Each structure stands twice: as C-alpha cells, then as structure tokens.
Amino acid sequence: MAFTAPNETYSGKVYQVEAGTEKTFVIGGENVLPFHSFEGNVPNRPVIAYEVQDVPPEDWPDTVKKVYDGVSGNPVTWAKHCQDKLNAKAIALRLIGTHPDRENRSAEEAAATVKEVLAAINVPLIILGSNHIEKDTSVLVAAAEAAKGKNCFIGKALEENYKTIVAACLANNHKLIAMSQLDINLSKQLNILITQMGFDKEKLVTDPMCSALGYGLDYTYSVMERIRLAALTQNDVTMQTPMLGDIGMYAWKVKEASAPESELPIGGSLEPRGIAWETVTAGALMMAGAELLIMRHPESVKALEKFIDELM
C-alpha cells in the first residue's frame, strides 16, 4: 500500500516585504512553515545581508576582521567590496560609531555616511542604529531622511523609542524593523502600537532578538517558532510580519567562536569553528522562521546559501 504523507493546512500567510529601488529583494509571502513547499507556497528564499559598520570593526575577532583587511576602514569601500566582490544581495549598515560609549558620532555624521554608502551601491540597504535607545532616536531619524525614497529597512525600533522612528519611516517611505526582548507578547504589543500610528503592517519586519548557538538559541528559536505558528495557524495578523535574525553580532562574540585553541582545545581550529558557529546559528533561526539574516563571514554566508539551495 502506497504511503501518502499527511499535509497540514494553514489559515494565515506571512506578508511580503520588499526593499530597495534599483536592485530589490522580497522576503516573506509563505503560507506554510519554513521550507514546507510540499504543503503550500514558499515564493521567496531567505535573504542574507552582509554587515558593514561605520567605524572599523575593532571588537570583531581577528578571524573575521582579516577577511576585510584593506576595506573595513571606510564604510563605502567596505560596502562596495561586499557588493562587487562577495555578491551581496543586501548591505546592513550598522551605525555603531554613534554609540555614546564608542565614537559618539552625531546624527548628522551618520546621515552623511548613509548618503555616501547609498551613492556607492545599488543593492538594498538596511540601516541599523547602535542599540542605544536615546541616541538611536535622533540617529535613525536623520538616517531615514538621508535615505528618503530609497526604500530601506530602518531599525531597530523598540517600545521605548518607536514613535519617532515610525514617524521618520512614514515620512520618508521606508520599511521598519521592530525589536522586542525575546517575548512573543512583547513582540505582538510593539507591532500593535506601531500599526496604531498608521504604519502599514505589510511594511514591518519583526526582530524577536537574537541569541547565538549555545547561548539561548533554543529560547530564540522557540519565540520565533511561536510567532510563526501564531501567524499561520491562528491567522494572527499582528504576527504575520517577516522576521529578522541579526546573526553576526551575537554569534561572533561568544567564546566558542573567538577563544584561541589554547583556551578551548576541545573546539578544534579557531577559524572554522567560528564560521561553523555563525552558520549553525543562522541555519537554526532560519528554520524557525527568519527570512532576513545579517551575517559577517563570507564563508558562513556561502555555507548558508548552499543550505538554502538544498532546502528550496
């Protein structure tokens, strides 16, 4: 007797969100769990964006820093390198230099950097603040104005500062990344607050907050999974946004990805260990529902793209 695999049906669907003007990408649109194309429609593959900073990445492990030797001193050169040499589908510009504990760059300086990077690339740009609540409020407003009409992703908006950032995205025609602290109820609440301001829910991307392999990954995975299940099985429109996994900044700061072999001999060779740590973190969260991933090492990106090819 022939075996017929049981298929699930879902009442909900993830919104499609597009970024960019010259070259574009679209994420979301699926009406099934990640890569379950045998049960429904998965119209768009996940997108990987290369992370670029407005200042040299002094706090990155040497195994990642050396990949960008000669280009990471300038965000324009760095972004061009990722686009032209590494075939990046998107650039994630992190304005970490604006953080008060770093270079404390002004909002005006951040806006100038955004303009320069946009003039140098034609792939979509994701503009990220420094995760300093007060400073990001002014920085992301200035960045949104500098990128007016370029259809960028701007983030991250938190419950403490979302109003000003939402208004800037509305005024300058951008998409918005909303971040909550690893809690599905907080994520839902923030999405509701943002849409109550008149922001289109179909222009919103949710960042449930990331964790690296071995450091709360299971918790991040379960929150993402619950968000996706709420979107599909409960048809919860507030949870039907695509999701972001900000992988690189979390995966590369844990000791397993950066500790030398003398300190962690059981981990084996340092460089492939770090690459594997970023790749597995990204792969796991992609399987939980993340459609947009921000990564650092080209070899990690290459491995994940191969994984996506096999799954698609």
Q: Which segments within the chain are labelled E, that is strand?
A: 17-19, 25-27, 47-53, 91-94, 125-128, 153-157, 175-179, 204-207, 243-246, 290-295
pTM of the model: 0.95
CATH of the domain at 209: 3.20.20.20
In a domain, 21, yes or no: yes
Split at pLDDT 50, 70, 90, the class of 216 is: confident
The string of DSSP codes covering 286-308 is HHHTEEEEEE--HHHHHHHHHHH
> Would the pLDDT of 4 be above 90?
no
In a domain, 121, yes or no: yes
Contacts of range 64-69, beta carbons closer than 8 Å, 24 or more positions apart: 64/252, 64/274, 64/296, 64/297, 67/297, 67/298
> Would the pLDDT of 5 be above 80?
no
Per-residue model confidence as pLDDT tens digits over 20-53: 999 999 999 999 999 999 999 999 999 999 999 9
In a domain, 5, yes or no: no
In a domain, 143, yes or no: yes
State the total domains in the chain: 1
In a domain, 11, yes or no: no
Query: How far is it, in rounded angstroms, from Cα 72 to Cα 212?
Result: 24
Predicted local distance difference test score (pLDDT) of residue 263: 80
pLDDT above 90 coverage of the chain, percent: 90
Split at pLDDT 50, 70, 90, the class of 302 is: very high
User: Domain residues for 107?
Assistant: 17-311
> Would the pLDDT of 220 be above 80?
yes
In a domain, 3, yes or no: no
